């Protein structure tokens, strides 16, 4: 029922709400007054004589030079028109055109460029449900229709609140729409009071990341034609930057220095301008013809052996369009809920059903990684997205193998939990965990990337598996044995989860570091108290927590209870994670020694990786000096998981160090 709500009902309600908001927003507010920074191709001065005078006429008609305010098509109508012909556009052919992403220094496709650009500009790869490629082309060739529309992404709610304060005039309805959609219009952005407020906010250190993000969104909207770099440089090399067709329209651009003759320029500009004209006229047949001509003309400009092959472009496009990870995520979700039922009841059939879903999810997940590996030509562990996805697969496979050997069911549950949790991150924080295809930092181009990095991220995945098993132990202790410590630990985790969710919602945008720490501490403490009270109301009063360390304590006779099984499975995972993390840290020191000239430099990432290992080293030894071994092992496992998460997220994104690129 939750999935039906999330994937069917909620999107429909959101679409209706957005439609109502769009219908009530003001229209045609000076949309014909375009800034100098937002130039149509035709406004780039005159075209050289050698590029045929006929081209100028086509441009003037196709690009709408001299368009007045009353002539601008409002975006609702523009969207309806483009949606009407979307199915007739050869999106596959257009998306498979090769280009060089100058910002990432890698060959890519229009498909990947469109997704990256739209995500940066709009916060989503799609504009109101349009195909990503169609969305980007609409922004490029019909930009004027969206000047007064909320297409510029502003992720941070705190920034939006600042942009709607006095003296900026914004109605309550418009402000509420901004808060919900997290988007503003270009016209609103360019208002003098808004620009003044932006200059003030840009000087605040705490908001520098938010302002840079918003500035990138505005840049993509303004300069989308200039970053459409599909034109190769004839006298260039593999690493030479490509240019946009827009640049060939500039009479002051020295294309001769790049080896581009007038005939070459015309061979590109003719289909490019024809594409722009056909796009504005909503002529699908003419669009497809222009796309065919453009796809034919562009490779002729590239030096021999430098233009990506059609097979390579189709492989990347297929990887993008298949979107296999979403299906794998769905498999993990089903496996997670069914495995809970299998774990709680002990029935055989739920186990088989959960295993079926888990195996299918792991297979789809692995195939997605294999496709990405083929597209990139390297092991996909070089950035945050790839580390999350690859480590999740390693952990899920390890848990599945343990399930086959032990038949304890809890490994199956932990693997499904890991997949469910980790693969939701690209959906929850897409701007942080994004699937952009990127080149690898030169320092990472080493055999150690395949050893040190894989060991570290795999150990983190096993730590997450152990975290899942630890919580199974704590829940049984809390419900069956009425243990106060287990109840407080579960409640504290819920308090921490509230802090994380509030952070994702930018609730702490105006709060400095120690303030956030205080709120987190209060939330965790409050969660622990609520955990004690909540379990007491449902399951009965708690018993006093046992002593943590008792040197005279020895293990009582083992039974075949579920707690003993959980404890045994938990230890298998803890030992594996501790050894893998230790070896990974040592190999990292070896790598650092010949890359940076020292094996250890107290870099934040190094320090917190060591802290994580120390927690687990203490954990696996502390159980021998406490009476309630399984309980305290589970509690410390939760603490270790929190330290690992801090190391992976806070250190990576908020503490500058030598590992900041990873």
Whether residue 436 is predicted with pLDDT greater than 90 in this model: the reply is no
More confident residue, 390 or 483: 390
pLDDT of 167? 87
Quick one: pLDDT band at residue 16, thresholds 50, 70, 90? low
Model confidence at 208, in pLDDT bands (50, 70, 90)? confident
DSSP conformation class of 101: E
Share of the chain above pLDDT 70, in %: 83
Q: Are residues 516 and 432 part of one domain?
A: no
Tell me the angle at which helices 348-376 and 384-406 cross, rounded to the nearest 10 degrees: 150
What was the pLDDT predicted at 428? 85
Instruction: Summarize pLDDT for 575-628 with one digit per residue, the tens.
Output: 999 999 999 999 999 988 887 788 888 888 888 889 999 999 998 998 888 888
Which domain-ending residue is among 310, 326, 343?
310
Whether residues 388 and 275 share a domain: the answer is no
The answer, yes or no, to whether residue 414 has pLDDT greater than 60, is: yes
Tell me if 158 is assigned to some domain. Answer: yes
DSSP letter at 106 equals: E
Residue 566 and residue 517 share a domain: no
Which pLDDT score is estimated for 60?
38
Co-location of 285 and 330 in the same domain: no
Please tell me which residue, 32 or 108, carries the higher pLDDT value. Answer: 108
Helix (H/G/I), strand (E/B), else coil: 356: helix
CB 98 within 8 A of CB 307: yes
**Residue in the block written with tokens 């009841």:** 345
Q: Taking a C-beta distance cutoff of 8 angstroms, is the pair 633, 563 a contact? A: no
Helix, strand, or coil (residue 505)? coil
Task: Note whether residue 259 is domain-resident.
Answer: yes
Domain assignment of residue 96, given as a range: 2-310
pLDDT of residue 73: 35
Which of residues 33 and 630 earns the better pLDDT score?
630
CB-based contacts of 556: which residues, under 8 Å, 6+ apart? none
Least trusted range by pLDDT, from 60-69, 118-127, 375-384, 418-427: 60-69
Closest CA to 633 of 577, 573, 570: 570
Same domain for 358 and 375? yes
Q: What is the DSSP string of 625-645?
A: G-SSHHHHHHHHHHHHHHHHH
Min mean pLDDT across 474-478, 546-550, 554-558, 641-645 is at: 554-558
Report which of residues 64 and 194 the model is more confident about: 194
pLDDT digits (tens, 9 = 90+) for 241-252: 999 999 998 888
Q: Alpha-carbon torsion 291, 294, 299, 300, what sign?
A: positive
Residues 427 and 412 in one domain: yes
User: Residue 655 pLDDT > 60, yes or no?
Assistant: yes
| 661 inside domain | no
Q: State the average pLDDT over residues 377-406.
A: 94
pLDDT score of 461: 96
Q: Are residues 320 and 299 in the same domain?
A: no
pTM over 0.85: no
pLDDT at residue 131 tops 80: yes
- Name the residue with higher pLDDT: 361 or 500: 361
Higher pLDDT: 275 or 446? It is 275
Number of domains forming the structure of the chain: 3
> Are residues 226 and 355 both part of a single domain?
no
Bridge partners for 231 per DSSP:
243
Residues 421 and 495 in one domain: no
Q: Which of 113, 105, 112 is nearest to 238 (CA)?
A: 105
Gap between the Cα atoms of 258 and 233, Å rounded: 6
Higher-confidence position of 499 and 447? 499
For residue 12, the model assigns a pLDDT of 61
Q: Please check whether residues 200 and 324 belong to one and the same domain.
A: no
Show the tokens assigned to 230.
């599909």
| Cis status, amide bond into 441, omega within 30 of 0 | no
For the chain, what percent of residues have pLDDT higher than 90?
53
Q: What integer is the mean pLDDT of 120-135?
A: 93
How far is CA 271 from each of CA 55, 297, 377, rounded to the nearest angstrom?
Answer: 10, 9, 32
Q: Distance between CA 641 and CA 467 in Å, rounded?
A: 6
Query: Which of 294, 310, 326 is the endpoint of a domain?
Result: 310
Determine, yes or no, domain membership for 356. Answer: yes
Q: How far apart are CA 298 and CA 306, in angstroms?
A: 12
101: β partners: 106
Q: Of 608, 621, 615, 596, whose CA–CA distance to 650 is shortest?
A: 608
Do residues 302 and 341 share a domain?
no
User: What pLDDT, on a 0 to 100 scale, did the predictor assign at position 547?
Assistant: 47
Where among 310, 339, 374 does a domain terminate?
310
- Is there a single domain that holds both residue 459 and residue 529? no
pLDDT tens by residue, 135-185: 999 999 999 999 999 999 998 888 898 999 888 988 888 888 898 889 999
Domain membership of residue 345 (yes or no) is yes
Spatial CB neighbours of 101, under 8 Å, sequence gap ≥ 6: 107, 108, 112, 113, 116, 229
Tokens of 473: 């132990």
Asked if residue 359 belongs to a domain, the reply is yes
> What is the per-residue pLDDT for 65?
34
Q: How confident is the model at residue 204 (pLDDT cuts 50, 70, 90)?
A: confident
Is residue 477 one of the residues assigned to a domain?
Answer: no
pLDDT tens profile 362-386 = 999 999 999 999 999 888 988 889 9
For residue 546, give the nearest of 637, 623, 616, 639 by alpha carbon: 623
Tokens of 496: 């921490």
Higher pLDDT, 445 or 641: 641
Confidence of residue 353 (pLDDT cuts 50, 70, 90): very high
Residue 474 lies in a domain: no
Which pLDDT belongs to residue 542? 54
User: Which helix (DSSP H) or strand (DSSP E) does residue 184 occupy?
Assistant: strand 183-184
């Amino acid at each position: 029922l939750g999935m039906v709500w999330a994937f069917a009902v909620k999107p429909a309600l959101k679409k209706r709400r957005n439609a109502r908001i769009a219908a009530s927003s003001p229209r045609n507010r000076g949309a014909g007054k375009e800034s100098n920074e937002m130039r149509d191709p035709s406004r780039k001065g005159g075209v050289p004589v050698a590029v045929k005078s006929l081209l100028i006429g086509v441009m003037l008609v196709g690009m709408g030079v001299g368009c007045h305010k009353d002539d601008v098509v409002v975006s609702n109508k523009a969207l309806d028109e483009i949606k009407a012909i979307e199915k007739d556009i050869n999106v596959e052919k257009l998306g498979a055109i090769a280009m060089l992403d100058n910002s990432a220094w890698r060959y890519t496709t229009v498909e990947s460029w469109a997704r990256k650009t739209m995500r940066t500009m709009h916060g989503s790869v799609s504009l109101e449900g349009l195909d990503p490629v169609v969305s980007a082309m609409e922004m490029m060739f019909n930009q004027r229709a969206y000047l007064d529309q909320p297409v510029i992404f502003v992720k941070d709610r705190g920034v939006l609140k600042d942009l709607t304060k006095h003296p900026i005039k914004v109605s309550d309805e418009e402000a509420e729409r901004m808060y919900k959609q997290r988007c503003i219009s270009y016209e609103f952005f360019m208002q003098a009071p808004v620009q003044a407020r932006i200059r003030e906010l840009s000087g605040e250190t705490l908001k520098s990341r938010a302002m840079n993000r918003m500035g990138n969104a505005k840049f993509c909207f303004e300069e989308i034609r200039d970053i459409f770099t599909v034109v190769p440089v004839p006298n260039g090399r593999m690493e030479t930057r490509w240019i946009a067709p827009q640049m060939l329209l500039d009479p002051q651009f020295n294309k001769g220095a790049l080896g581009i003759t007038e005939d070459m320029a015309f061979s590109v500009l003719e289909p490019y301008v024809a594409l722009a004209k056909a796009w504005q006229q909503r002529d699908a047949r003419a669009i497809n013809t222009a796309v065919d001509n453009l796809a034919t003309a562009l490779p002729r400009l590239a030096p021999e052996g430098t233009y990506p092959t059609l097979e390579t472009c189709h492989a990347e496009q297929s990887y993008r369009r298949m979107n296999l990870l979403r299906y794998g995520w769905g498999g993990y979700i089903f496996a997670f809920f069914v495995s809970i039922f299998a774990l709680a009841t002990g029935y055989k059939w739920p186990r088989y059903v959960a295993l079926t879903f888990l195996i299918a999810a792991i297979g789809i997940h692995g195939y997605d990684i294999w496709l990405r590996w083929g597209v990139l030509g390297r092991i996909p562990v070089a950035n945050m997205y790839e580390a999350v996805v690859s480590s999740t697969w390693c952990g899920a496979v390890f848990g599945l193998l343990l399930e086959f050997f032990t038949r304890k069911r809890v490994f199956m549950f932990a693997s499904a939990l890991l997949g469910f949790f980790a693969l939701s991150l690209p959906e929850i924080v897409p701007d942080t965990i994004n699937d952009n295809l990127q080149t690898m930092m030169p320092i990472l181009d080493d055999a150690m990337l395949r050893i040190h990095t894989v060991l570290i991220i795999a150990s983190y995945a096993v730590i997450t598996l152990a975290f899942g098993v630890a919580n199974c132990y704590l829940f049984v202790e809390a419900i069956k044995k009425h243990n106060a410590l287990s109840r407080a630990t579960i409640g504290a985790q819920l308090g921490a989860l509230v802090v994380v969710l509030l952070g994702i919602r930018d609730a702490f945008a105006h709060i400095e570091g120690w303030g956030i720490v205080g709120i987190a501490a209060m939330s965790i403490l409050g969660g622990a108290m609520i955990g004690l009270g909540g379990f007491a109301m449902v399951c009965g009063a708690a018993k006093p927590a046992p002593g943590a360390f008792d040197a005279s304590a020895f293990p009582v006779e083992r039974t075949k209870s579920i707690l003993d099984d959980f404890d045994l499975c938990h230890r298998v995972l803890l030992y594996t994670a501790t050894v893998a993390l230790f070896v990974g840290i040592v190999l990292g020191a070896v790598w650092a020694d010949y890359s940076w000239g020292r094996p250890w430099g107290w870099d934040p990432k190094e320090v917190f990786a060591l802290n994580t290992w120390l927690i687990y080293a203490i954990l696996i030894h502390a159980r021998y000096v406490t009476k309630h071994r399984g309980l305290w092992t589970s509690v410390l496992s939760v603490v270790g998981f929190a330290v690992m998460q801090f190391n992976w997220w806070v250190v990576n994104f908020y503490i500058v160090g030598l590992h900041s690129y990873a």
